[in-house]
Amino acid sequence: MTAISNPGTPDAPGPVSLALHGRTALVTGAASGIGRACARRLAAAGATVRAVDRDAAGLTALADGLPAGTPGTVEPLPLDLTDLDAAERVAAGSDVLVNNAGIQLVRPIEDFPPEVFHEVLTVMLEAPFRLLRGALPHMYRQGWGRIVNVSSVHGLRASPFKSAYVAAKHGLEGLSKTAALEGAAHGVTSNCVNPGYVRTPLVERQIADQAAAHGIPEERVLTEVLLVDSALKRLIEPEEVAEAVAFLCTPQASYMTGASLALDGGWTAH
């Protein structure tokens, strides 16, 4: 796997103002990429972060690698989210839930293994439903909660060869909106963030598959496949997505619910 260089990345702007002292935030897929950035960001806001991932070593690295002076904490909770009962149990008592864990396979429908389709839907749609079931009773009791679903531009648009991923993300959009309608009376908001391509291992891993599926060399995948519909010709950084997640947890975002916040470099402007 080659790390993708990303020319044109702007200097990091200052963080949005967010205080989560005394709050518990559960982040799934926290060992890598966007989830890792979200866990670090919410801990920086003072939260006790319950970091869920099947990658136990990655969770330990996350917890051990928190910057000195981080006001919050990270509690590693190794778990495979295909264990749906365990997923529902682990979410109990969370004030903030970030549904982020995801997997990808790039393959035409006729070659797409049905068992992988099932796994993608389980991890990326059914587990978020079960995590919501686990988390909402506590949020409703206290009259406050924040659900952030890490969807994708693929929750709003399709691409060829990603049937399971696109189906799961479109389903997550519906789940998020339904949670928004049900949670409104209880002080709970539910929103999606919809990144275009983010510079994470999930994207780096699909370069070879995309090259094979489209019949082009790997070095042409970034410009001719991944960024072809993006007006901004760079990948977004995981920290930029985490900042949007943080914003959705601020008091300033309390009227935002049922929304899908595109971070897609203009892709869906087409």
Contact positions toward ligand NAD, by CB under 6 A? 29, 31-35, 53-55, 58, 80-82, 100-103, 123, 150, 152, 195, 197-198, 200-203
- CB–CB of 42/27 below 8 Å? yes
Amino acid at 63: A
DSSP-assigned letters across all residues of 154-211: GGTS--TT-HHHHHHHHHHHHHHHHHHHHHGGGTEEEEEEEESSBSSHHHHHHHHHHH
Encoded tokens for 263: 């971070």
SS3 of 12, please? coil
Shorter beta-carbon distance to ligand NAD: residue 65 or 201: 201
Angle between helices 114-121 and 163-183 (to 10 degrees): 20
Min dist CB 248 to ligand NAD, Å, is: 15
Shorter beta-carbon distance to ligand NAD: residue 105 or 203: 203
Shorter beta-carbon distance to ligand NAD: residue 192 or 253: 192
Beta bridge partners of 24: 48
Min dist CB 182 to ligand NAD, Å, is: 22
Q: Which residue is nearest to ligand NAD (CB)?
A: 33
Min dist CB 142 to ligand NAD, Å, is: 27
Amino acid at 219: E
Residue spans of alpha helices (H) in the chain: 33-44, 56-64, 84-90, 114-121, 127-142, 163-183, 201-214, 221, 238-248
Min dist CB 253 to ligand NAD, Å, is: 20
Min dist CB 58 to ligand NAD, Å, is: 6
Shorter beta-carbon distance to ligand NAD: residue 55 or 182: 55
- Indicate which residue of 140, 165, 197, 255 is catalytic: 165
Shorter beta-carbon distance to ligand NAD: residue 35 or 68: 35
Give the pairing of strands 188-195 and 73-78: unpaired
Would you call 101 exposed, middle or buried from its count of C-beta atoms within 10 A (0-12, 13-18, 19+)? buried
User: What end-to-end distance do the CA atoms of the chain give, in Å?
Assistant: 31
165 belongs to the catalytic site: yes
Encoded tokens for 266: 């203009």
Shorter beta-carbon distance to ligand NAD: residue 82 or 187: 82
Angle between helices 33-44 and 238-248 (to 10 degrees): 50
Min dist CB 74 to ligand NAD, Å, is: 14
Query: What are the residue numbers of the active site?
Result: 165
